[in-house]
Amino acid sequence: MAYWANSNSSQIASFSTTWTVPPVPEKKDGAIYIFNQLVETSSLSCILQFGNTAAGGGEYWAIASWYTGGGHTYYSPLEKVVPGQTITAVMTLKNAFPSGSETTYNWNAMFSMLPSTSLNVSIPGVFTYAYEALQIYNISDPSGLPPGYTIMGSINLALVDGSHPSEINWIPGINAAQGFGLEIISNSSRNGAVKIIYSDSVNV
């Protein structure tokens, strides 16, 4: 995975990423998540999954929007997708309502052009971290992963004041140290790209 922490005076207002659904893995013995995500004490994600997860699924690729916070997880209905299909995940701050010393922030996450994946959530705080990530579960060897790599591209991140960060300095996360390749193609906050390279050896 790769992550970025917002140190600007203005908070994150939107975060979108476009990528292509990979081929179906040869071995189908686990679960794969490929996603972009906003995180603080809770998380909002647009997830491409393969395998069975809490949201359902099976031996096919599917997409849904997820929110995890307060010990609970919520997700939109799954929508099947096919290898080679281009998908765009968008998370948008819709509005904010101050109430005394607290503010409620209303967010939407969805895969564009697929309204069934829309998920609306209200949270008491801001999202500080942005992620481009791969997670795998119960995969015993490389044949359980897609071949090659996935480019998380057209990354666009905007702030509430209408500006874009000068650049997004992505920091490699833990799975880059577990044998998975990670290449930062562009730190642009308007058209950035990160390449996730599937491992030659699996260490989970």
**Domain range summary for the chain, segments of one domain joined by +:** 2-197
Least confident range of 79-88, 139-148, 155-164, 176-185: 176-185
Share of the chain above pLDDT 90, in %: 80
Handedness of CA 64, 65, 68, 74 (dihedral sign): negative
- The vertex-132 CA angle with 13 and 199, nearest 5°, equals 180
pLDDT above 80 (res 200) = no
pLDDT above 90 (res 180) = no
| Own/partner long-range contacts of 71-74 (Cβ < 8 Å, ≥24 apart) | 74/119, 74/121
Residue 167, classed as helix, strand or coil, is coil
pTM: 0.93
Instruction: Place 178 in a pLDDT band, splitting at 50, 70 and 90.
Output: low
Decide if domain 2-197 falls under CATH 2.60.120: yes
Amino acid at 134: L
Q: What does each C-alpha distance from 85 to 61, 102, 149, 155, 170 come to in angstroms?
A: 10, 41, 15, 17, 26
pLDDT score at 204: 45
Residue 92, classed as helix, strand or coil, is strand
pLDDT digits over 54-88, tens only?
A: 999 999 999 999 999 989 999 999 999 999 999 99
Average pLDDT, the chain: 92
pLDDT score at 100: 77
pLDDT score at 177: 45
Q: What does each C-alpha distance from 56 to 3, 13, 76, 103 come to in angstroms?
A: 27, 30, 11, 33
